Amino acid sequence: MTIAHAAPASGAAVPQRVPRLSYFFPAHNEEANIGALVVEALETLPNLAETFEIIAVDDGSRDRTGEIADRLAADHPDVVRVVHHNPNRGYGGALRSGFEHARYELLAFTDGDRQFKVADIGRLTERMAQPDRPDVVVGYRIKRADPFVRIAYARTYKLANRIFFGLRVTDVDCACKLFRREALEGVRVESGGAFFSAELLNKIRQAGRSIAEVGVPHYPRTAGSPTGAKPSVIWRAVKDFWMLRLRLWANRDRAMRRGRPILGE
């Protein structure tokens, strides 16, 4: 299966609004970011969707992330909801909760660290509306605003996914993605860590669904601390990577049935 690439959006045009959109983001110790991110989403999403919801997944934060999220949900009860994890479930576990709690036909997520603009989800909805109507649109960071060690890790990870899974996605872990709900039906994911996104894309591809790509800007983190390059996080991702690869080699159908449904039981 080929993966379609699109040039970065040229700028000012606002894409046609989609009928209904669920937007969610994981947040772990993001008290300095979560308030501004939700306000940004509240200001931006009316331009992208006729009806929308915002789901903040507080993944076992030890700071005021959950408290701030709850206050925003109380102030905007029609559109903002909060999911709390205690204890922390990891990045994949937080994304899984976002998928499970989303209610609408299109599901989009970014991270909670504000390294993506909510408005750039419009680049994804615009690409999804093109005549080939892809099932999934994956962003790729036009110029990655991360330390060298994270960039080097990402390049190695991309190459490994291409070699061992045939996944020709430019930026596997770019946290700016858009899915049609029907593309997720029947898809099960086992990983709860950093391999979650790659496993999801690999199983979507294995299921014969189409993936397109579009460039999105990436911005430096201005508050909070990243956790993705921790050795424990990397080790868990490597372990999950090889378990999936070995299981697909041993019995593809059984491997595809492992894990929990991405949309919940």
114 and 222 Cβ atoms separated by less than 8 Å: yes
Residue 10 resides in a domain: no
Phi first, then psi, for residue 15 (nearest 5°) are: -65, 155
Residue 8 within any structural domain of the chain = no
Asked whether residue 264 is domain-assigned, the answer is no
What domain count does the chain have? 1
CATH of the domain at 153: 3.90.550.10
Compute the distance between CA of residue 19 and CA of residue 116 in angstroms, rounded to an integer: 23
Closest CA to 70 of 35, 111, 115: 35
Within-domain flag for 9: no
Longest C-alpha distance within the chain, in Å? 51
Cβ atoms within 10 A of the Cβ of 206, count?
Answer: 17
Read off the tokens for 160. Answer: 């490994």
Q: Is residue 100 situated within a structural domain?
A: yes
Per-residue pLDDT of the chain (265 residues; tens, 9 = 90+): 445 555 444 444 567 899 999 999 999 999 999 999 999 999 999 999 999 999 999 999 999 999 999 999 999 999 999 999 999 999 999 999 999 999 999 999 999 999 999 999 999 999 999 999 999 999 999 988 777 777 888 888 889 999 999 999 999 989 999 999 999 999 999 999 889 999 999 999 999 999 999 999 999 877 755 655 678 888 899 999 999 999 999 999 999 999 999 998 7
Let me know: does 50 contact 19? Beta carbons within 8 Å. Answer: yes
Any domain includes 38: yes
Domain-embedded: residue 265:
no
179 domain residue, yes or no: yes
The residue range of the domain holding 179 is 19-259
Give this prediction's pTM: 0.90
Which two tokens mark 10? 């040229």
